[in-house]
Every structure is written in C-alpha cells, then in structure tokens.
C-alpha cells in the first residue's frame, strides 16, 4: 500500500473511569507514544459486563473524563457506549467504531489482567477481526493465560511494520507502573483522605462540586 493511503492510527481505552486517574492517563499516553497513535479515545462504559454498577452516573464519569483530558491534543472522550442499552461489550463498540473508521488501524488497549481474561469476553475472537489488541504490561507482571488464549496470543504476536495493518495483531507494550486504582481513590474519599497527585486537580475539584464519593454504598 502507498504510505499516503495509510489512515491515522486510533487507540481505544474503555473503562468505568469511576473516577479517571493518572493510572489511566499516563499509561494511555505511553501507548500513544510507543505506537505513534494519532488519537486515543477514552470510552466510558454505561454498564460494565463483568462487575458491579459504577458509583458515579455515566454523565458524571464523562464530565470527569472531559476535564481530565482538556487541552491534550491526542486524547478525546468518545461517549458512544453511554447511548447503548445493556452491557457494554467491546466487540459491539468496535463494530460501531468501524462504521465511522472503516480503514484506520484501531488499537484496543487493555491491562494484562483484562487480557488474561479475554477468552471469557463476548465474541472475543471477533475483536481481533476488528482491531489490534495492545496489552499494557507493567514491569514484571506475569501473563497467566489459559492454553487456548496462550496459543491464540502466540499466533497473533505483532512484528515490526504491522502498525500499518488495520487489525489482527497483539502488541505488548511496557507502561509506567502506577499502582493507582479508582477503588482505592473512592475508598480514600469515603474516609475524607487527601487524593491529590493520584488524579488531576480539576477532577478532584469537580468531585467536590458534584458531591461525589461521600458515602460508601452498602454492599447489596
């Protein structure tokens, strides 16, 4: 293919972002830089398939994301999952993205833990027919895969130059190790502890203004 015909590469980072924090943002940027992505779309999910419902509403989570990435030229919020009914399956999001971006190289970012559970995801093998997968690996984190997934991973490993393909390969990219989680931030806020330097100041201010994460929800 003529180099001028290659479309810009787009990354996709889905999550609950309840709230967004530097663990999402810095590692996402590590991948943008490592693979030369034109854009990274942060996609908040309405209802995550594998876990309990988020504490903040979809609109509140989207607002926090928008503030967090404000003025960064390569990061954008994509709210297509918020308009969909039911669980947010990655494969459905990719089918929807492909309608807008039929030929661009697409890269779905996920942590090692998420990748190791991939074979339990809805229509998981179809994901690589729609996009590349980028495993964001933290230093010395083991990849514990079942045999089916390990064989699949071996057969799909990306090689130099594969960046120009639109889909189909698995990349493993080392990322900055930041032991930050939204759960730990919510717990700190419930206990009125200081959460500065774990997430952007603007997001902390918004959390205060919206009165979020004040009372720990009772487990049902």
Contacts with ligand ATP by CB under 6 A lie at 15-18, 23-24, 27, 110-111, 113-114, 136, 178, 180-183
Dihedral angle at the C-alpha atoms of 60, 64, 70, 74, nearest 10 degrees? -100
Residues 6+ apart with CB under 8 A from 142: 112
User: Residue 4 CB, nearest distance to ligand ATP (Å)?
Assistant: 33
Residue, CB closest to ligand ATP: 23
98 versus 138: smaller Cβ distance to ligand ATP: 138
Residue linked to tokens 């990306």: 158
CA dist 185 and 207 (Å) reads 11
User: Residue 113 CB, nearest distance to ligand ATP (Å)?
Assistant: 6
7 versus 177: smaller Cβ distance to ligand ATP: 177
User: Residue 62 CB, nearest distance to ligand ATP (Å)?
Assistant: 13
15 versus 200: smaller Cβ distance to ligand ATP: 15
Are 136 and 109 in contact by the 8 Å Cβ rule? The answer is: yes
Residues 6+ apart with CB under 8 A from 23: 178, 179, 180, 181
28 versus 105: smaller Cβ distance to ligand ATP: 28
């Amino acid at each position: 293919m003529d180099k001028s015909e290659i479309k810009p590469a787009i990354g996709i980072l889905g999550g609950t972002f309840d709230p967004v924090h530097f663990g999402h943002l810095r590692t996402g940027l590590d991948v943008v830089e490592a693979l030369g992505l034109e854009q990274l779309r942060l996609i908040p999910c309405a209802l995550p398939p594998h876990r309990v419902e988020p504490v903040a509403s979809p609109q509140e989570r989207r607002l926090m994301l928008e503030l967090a990435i404000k003025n960064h030229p390569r990061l954008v919020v994509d709210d297509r999952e918020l308009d969909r009914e039911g669980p947010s399956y990655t494969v459905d999001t990719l089918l929807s993205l492909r309608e807008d971006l039929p030929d661009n190289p697409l890269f779905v970012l996920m942590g090692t833990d998420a990748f190791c559970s991939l074979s339990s995801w809805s229509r998981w093998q179809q994901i690589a027919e729609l996009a590349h997968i980028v495993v964001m690996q933290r230093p010395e984190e083991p990849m514990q895969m079942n045999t089916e997934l390990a064989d699949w991973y071996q057969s799909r490993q990306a090689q130099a130059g594969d960046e120009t393909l639109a889909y189909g390969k698995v990349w493993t990219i080392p990322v900055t190790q930041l032991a930050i989680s939204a759960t730990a931030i919510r717990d700190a806020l419930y206990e009125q502890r200081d959460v500065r330097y774990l997430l952007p100041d603007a997001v902390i201010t918004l959390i205060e203004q919206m009165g979020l994460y004040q009372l720990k929800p009772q487990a049902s």
